[in-house]
Amino acid sequence: MIGRLNHVAIAVPDLAAAAEQYRGTLGADVGPPQDEPAHGVTVIFITLPNTKIELLHPLGDNSPIAGFLEKNPSGGIHHICYEVEDILAARDQLIAKGARILGSGEPKIGAHGKPVLFLHPKDFTGTLVELEQI
C-alpha cells in the first residue's frame, strides 16, 4: 500500500535558524517558508536526493505544532510521510484493518497541494504517520 518516503517532518522553535543550519552547516537545498493556514503551520522543505525534510513551525495560537513544541521545546521529529497511489482506498483498507484516521477521516490538501491524511500514532508504534496521494 505505502510507496516511497515523501518526507520526515521536524517541528522547530525557530524556523529561520533551523533553515540556516540545514543550508549553512549541511549545505542543503532549502526552500522558502510557506504558510499553511489550514494546518496551522509554516513549513520549509529541504530537498535531498532521495526524500525531503519538512521543517514545521506554528502558525497562530491554535497550531497543533505549538503543543508539540511545549512538550519538546528544542523541537524534534513530528511525523513521517509516505506516498500512496489512492488515498481513499488506502484509508478504507487501513480502517478495515483497525487503524484510526485522525480528524474527520476525509483528506485535506497538504503543503504539496495533494490530498493527505494522518494516522493515529498509537496505531503505529508511537509515530504520527501522514499519507499523501501521489
Active site residue 85: no
DSSP, collapsed to helix, strand or coil, labels residue 51 as: coil
Residue 84: is it exposed, middle or buried by C-beta count within 10 angstroms (0-12/13-18/19+)? Answer: buried
Q: Which of 70, 83, 85, 130 is catalytic?
A: 130
What would the DSSP string read from start to end of 6-22? EEEEEE-S-HHHHHHII
Q: How far apart are CA 94 and CA 63, in angstroms?
A: 26
Which residues participate in catalysis according to the annotation? 130
